Amino acid sequence: MFPFRRFRVQDESMRPTLEPGDYVLVNRWAYRFQSPKPGDLVVVRDPETLDRFLVKRVSDAAGPSQVHLAGDNQPLSRDSRAFGPVSIDRIVGKVWIRLKR
């Protein structure tokens, strides 16, 4: 499995950290030996929509294998406040590099 995967950001819930059109390189091996920490930027499989990815920030651990996710643009973001905690195995990886437009 190739450790890096590219994603292009769409929508505005991670502003100002990520703007629509930015690229992120995601490290898929980041959580092999450690768990996601609060503050990590992660790409996850959308718990609400099949076959779609979300980019969000880990706000806190919700249990041994679950995390809460939040958007940096709080008033707009749809995140764990709406869909609850997210299982760690839905995390694709940790954002390693951000390429701003």
The residue type found at 6 is R
Q: Is 74 in the site for other proteins (CB under 8 A)?
A: no
Task: With CB under 8 A as the rule, give the number of residues binding other proteins.
Answer: 33
The region that residue 75 occupies, defined by phi over 0 for left and psi between -120 and 50 for alpha, beta otherwise, is alpha
Q: Distance between CA 58 and CA 67 in Å, rounded? A: 7
| Helix, strand or coil, per DSSP, at residue 66 | strand
Nearer to other proteins, 6 or 37 (CB): 6
Nearer to other proteins, 56 or 88 (CB): 56
Q: Is 96 in the site for other proteins (CB under 8 A)?
A: no
Stretch that binds other proteins, among 1-9, 27-35, 59-67 (CB under 8 A): 1-9
